[in-house]
Amino acid sequence: MLDKVDSWDFDIFMFDRATNGNGLVTLTFHLFLQLGLTRLFRLDPIKLRSFLVMVQADYHQRNPYHNSLHATDVTQAMYCFLRQPKLATTLSSCDMLLALVAAVTHDLDHPGVNQGFLVRTGHHLAALYKNSSVLESHHWRCAVSLLRESGLLDHLPITDRLNLEERLGSLILATDISQQNRYLARFREHLDREDLSMADPSHRHLVLQITMKCADICNPCRVWRLSSQWSSRVTAEFFHQGDVEKKHGMAVSPLCDRLSDSTAHIQAGMHTHTNTQTHKQTNKQTLNSHTLNSHTLNSHTLNSHILFLHKHTSSPPPLPELQCCPPSGFIRHVVEPLFREWCRFSCTSLSHRMLAHLQTNLDRWTDPSQHPETPP
């Protein structure tokens, strides 16, 4: 299957089954060879494989969405973007190395709940990162830790290693959806002024950040048979969070209630079986009440109950990125604006194809007859 790894229709689910759940190691190792990074950076193949094995193990496979399969999918998408003319002809080998490492590590040790949940429950990670880009900061630090533990880059000068680690952080932090408007505004400004220069290192890095963002949330731009599976997975993960919140008497976070939310509502803003005004009121109550401190629900209790619920609850179908809760209508409000600007930058057949898939998928989520859903 790896001979089709550059295809946008690459079936990551089939690949995962074919590799017996070792898709992240197999695919990423192959891409390092394909791009010549192993040779260019004199990487020890044994250390590279060891690093990738540790990365794969640090993803929580019990998470329906934020697991190693998601990281593998994002890495495959990143490879497709790196092959586009605008990037393939201008990025340095260091840029490509960073892009692949960021893609494969960008959600390391994701707990399967969002930032808002960690803040409300007084989780130690929220305190450590001062309630700002909590998950992304943690993913970055985990990535740096595994790079150092594996010794993959030990042969490089220390200043080069520290620079790589810093730039890696800025790519992973760019995946914070709550910060999307900031990145998108800068990108759009350059496109409007027509002054984006890939010869300028700072401009090139901004493009890498946008590329990382696109790879991370590109699921709605895939063909329906793949895209719909990701939508169901992210919904299941959100509902698990809602189950934990209910169990502890907390207000349920927006989009996390399996009794009132649906995949269509999350993806396209369509309510299939809940009253809009009631849902708005629930969201308002969620934001203004039921804050638990660490004495009520400590990290050990939190983690044990998340694990229990993953083992013992079913998972009906809401939305990606658990940093904060994006608005309902993820495709309309988050994905589409990003990919329309990407198409302005990289106006290729792949970009137009992604937008076409995006519209098709949006139409299907908007039409109730295409996805009959009933309350669980």
Tokens of 190: 């350059």
* Per-residue pLDDT at 286: 36
Percent of the chain with pLDDT strictly greater than 90: 81
Residue keyed to tokens 């004199």: 42
Amino acid found at 80: C
What is the full DSSP assignment across 184-252?
Answer: HHHHHHHHHHT---TTSHHHHHHHHHHHHHHHHT-GGGS-HHHHHHHHHHHHHHHHHHHHHHHHTTPPP
Amino acid found at 350: L
* Per-residue pLDDT at 269: 82
Closest CA relative to residue 142, chosen from 102, 99, 105: 105
Contact 90, 204 (CB under 8 A): yes
Point out the annotated binding site for AMP.
66-70, 107, 216, 267
* Per-residue pLDDT at 328: 65
Burial of 277 (0-12, 13-18, 19+ CB in 10 A): exposed
* Per-residue pLDDT at 214: 98
Structure confidence by residue, pLDDT tens digits, 164-182: 999 999 999 999 999 999 9
Closest CA relative to residue 107, chosen from 234, 222, 240: 234
Q: What is the mean predicted confidence (pLDDT) over 26-37?
A: 98
* Per-residue pLDDT at 291: 38
Q: What is the mean predicted confidence (pLDDT) over 318-333?
A: 58
Q: If pLDDT is split at 50, 70 and 90, which confidence band does 369 have?
A: confident
Q: What is the mean predicted confidence (pLDDT) over 7-32?
A: 98
* DSSP reduced 3-state for 312: helix
More confident residue, 304 or 361: 361
> Using DSSP, how many helices (H) and how many strands (E) does the chain show?
20, 0
Residue 218 predicted with pLDDT over 70: yes
Structure confidence by residue, pLDDT tens digits, 228-278: 999 999 999 999 999 999 999 999 999 999 999 999 999 998 554 333 333
Dist. CA 68–CA 107, nearest whole Å: 9
Q: What is the mean predicted confidence (pLDDT) over 81-89?
A: 97
Point out the annotated binding site for Zn(2+).
70, 106-107, 216
Point out the annotated binding site.
66-70, 106-107, 216, 267
Told to judge if 352 belongs to the known catalytic residues of this protein, a careful annotator would answer no
Contact 69, 60 (CB under 8 A): no
Q: What is the mean predicted confidence (pLDDT) over 204-213?
A: 98
Q: What is the mean predicted confidence (pLDDT) over 316-344?
A: 71
Structure confidence by residue, pLDDT tens digits, 265-316: 999 985 543 333 333 333 433 333 333 443 344 444 455 554 444 444 433 3
Residues 6+ apart with CB under 8 A from 238: 253, 255, 256, 261, 266, 318, 319, 322
- Among the residue ranges 128-132, 284-288, 310-314, 356-360, the one predicted with the least confidence is 284-288
Closest CA relative to residue 230, chosen from 211, 216, 242, 213: 216
**pLDDT averaged over every residue in the chain:** 87
Residue 24 predicted with pLDDT over 50: yes
Residue 153 predicted with pLDDT over 50: yes
Among residues 66, 110, 123, 265, the one annotated as catalytic is: 66
* Per-residue pLDDT at 367: 86
Q: If pLDDT is split at 50, 70 and 90, which confidence band does 132 have?
A: very high
Domains and CATH numbers, the chain: 2-117+128-218 (1.10.1300.10)
More confident residue, 100 or 328: 100
